[in-house]
Amino acid sequence: MNKKNLDYYLNLPYTYIIEWSDVDECFLGSIAELERNMTCGQTREEVLSNLKEAVASYVTTSLAHNMDIPEPLKIRDFKGNITYRTSKERHYQLAKQAKLYGKSINTLIEEAIAEKLR
């Protein structure tokens, strides 16, 4: 059995979020996959370094206490199928809009989601 160790977790593509805070007058950083973590710094590089140290500390502590460690989402775990439920009215609106643009409802929804995720 391949046991997951510190190196395994440190090489995962965690989602590092770094944003400037006008209120705190510094960069704030967090890791999307790990709860209750935040750091700050005067540069993005400083915050990223702090975040990487936080991951190492979190993983080391979690391994020592046999705790679950969240991992980033993996694209291979997704197939591209989403079941979407909506009201009859929204379905009707989508069908009308799709017909107007000569597209399928699926294409219209895909375009709307892509626009929102930009």
Range 79-117 classified under CATH 3.80.10: no
d(CA 67, CA 64): 8
- Average pLDDT of the segment spanning 77-97: 93
Q: What is the C-alpha to C-alpha distance for residues 16 and 12, in angstroms, rounded to an integer?
A: 11
Tokens, residue 45: 């590089």
Domain ranges for the chain, please list them: 6-64, 79-117
- Residue 3: which pLDDT band, with cuts at 50, 70 and 90? confident
Q: Is the pLDDT of residue 118 over 90?
A: no
Residue 2 has pLDDT above 60, yes or no: no
Neighbours of 27 (CB within 10 A): 20
